Structure 1
Amino acid sequence: MRASDRAYAELLEDIQSGALPSGFVLSEVEQAARLGVSRTPLREALRRLVADGLVVQQSPRVTVVADLDAGDIRALFEIRRALEETTARLAAERGDAEAFRALASEFATVDLSADEGRDAYYALIARLDAALDAAVANDYLSSALRTVRTHLVRVRRMARDKPERLAASAAEHLTIARALAARDGDLAAHATHVHLHNALTSILESLPEGTP
């Protein structure tokens, strides 16, 4: 792995996990030393993070982790709705019905009572996302979704886990997967819309008090 790729991956993980919080100043000297790379690959990694919208170049010498407030989250979900509802509709038309049927069976039997089950559930969502991307086979759409999903990791970390919301989310994903398996594009898009509406409402309600 190139030094710039490694620096990018580590900085991305630190931003998504919250180890590098919003507003944190990313000193080139300090970060290069921490990551064990020279300043040239670090600058390349920072340029990629700027392009992702995860860091902001405030001046030639000052780079900070981008803020993420309630307004940012609403804006993120606006583009997420447009992309994911379109993806669901197209995937229902183009995808492998049997593959989506198998995923639906797994959503129907998820166990959210333990950490292992919740981890498996999130992995299952990632597999559904991958199946949707493969079904649509549109590199432009997939690229846009990858950017959105990168930011969603930060959003999910900010929101508190709610057992009742997690169970509802699993049921919503089951409806989406079943619609995809039935090749019902309208239902798949509508079910995706409902899921995203409920997810946004829950996330905003769970943000720390005082979050703008």
Structure 2
Amino acid sequence: MRASDRAYASLLDEIQRGILPPGTVLGEVEQATRLGVSRTPLREALGRLAADGLVAQQSARVTVVTDVDAGDIRELFEVRRALEETAARLAAERGDAGAFAELADAFARAGLDGGQDALDDYYALISLFDAQLDAAVANDYLTAALRTVRTHLVRVRRLARDNPPRLAASVAEHRLIAAAIAHRDADLAAHATHVHLHNALANILTAVEGASTGSATDRPQKGAA
């Protein structure tokens, strides 16, 4: 793996997992030393992250991790809805019915009571579903657009991890989507995807707005002791 690819992969993972939270300054010298690469491949990695929208260059030598606010999330889901509903329809027409039937069974068996390990297994199952969806669609333009959305979605999904009822509902929603695709029901697959994304967006926005309210409440008010 090239040094720039290695640096990009490391920084992407740390941004998506929140190790490098929004507003973090990514100094070239510091990051190059930390990641064990020279400054040229690091600049290449930062350029790719900037193209992804995950970092922004505030000046010639200052790069920061971008924020994710409610407006960004709504815009992301506008694109996600258009892409994923289309992908679900195409998968129902073109996909391997047996593979999606197996995924539906896997979602039916998925449990979230095992702590972090169970949660990691669930997100691994989501990744498997996404990969099968991409294979079924067989459209490089559509799957490339979906990959861009998913790059940002990893950060956004973390906001829903503390809501067990929502996660349980998401499992059932994915099972229905997979089952609809397996039965070649394009309309149901698209509709089930629409409902899933509507519910996911509502939950994430509630979490974001709740966190913002909590932060404002925690800050001392003018004149307060």
Larger radius of gyration: 2
- The one-letter code matched in structure 2 to 1:66 is T
- Per-residue Cα deviation, 1:157-177 (whole angstroms, up to 9, x for no partner): 234421111111111011101
Match of 1:153?
A: 154
In structure 2, stretches of 5+ residues that fail to align are 217-225
Aligned to 1:65: 65
Deviations 1:110-160 (A, max 9, x none): 111112322222111111110000001111111111111111111122344
TM-score for the superposition, normalised by structure 2: 0.90
> Which residue is 2:212 aligned to?
209
Partner of 2:165: 164
After the TM superposition, which residues 7-156 of structure 1 pair with which residues of structure 2 at under 5 Å, given as runs? Answer: 7-115=7-115, 116-156=117-157
Could you tell me which amino acid in structure 2 is paired with residue 13 of structure 1? D
State the partner residue of 1:188.
189
Unaligned runs of 5+ in 1: none
Asked if structure 2 preserves the Cα contact closer than 8 Å seen for 1:160 and 1:206, the reply is no
Distance 1:158 1:171 in 2: 19
Structure 1 outlier segments of 4+, above 4 Å? none
Q: What is the alpha-carbon root mean square deviation over aligned residues?
A: 1.4
The alignment covers a number of residue pairs equal to 212
Aligned partners of 1:123, 1:19: CA distance in 2, in Å? 20
How far did residue 106 of structure 1 move? 1.0
CA–CA separation in structure 1 for the residues paired with 2:174 and 2:160: 19
Q: Percent identity?
A: 72
Q: How far apart are residue 71 of structure 1 and its match?
A: 0.8
Other-structure match for 2:201: 200
* TM-score, reference length from structure 1: 0.96
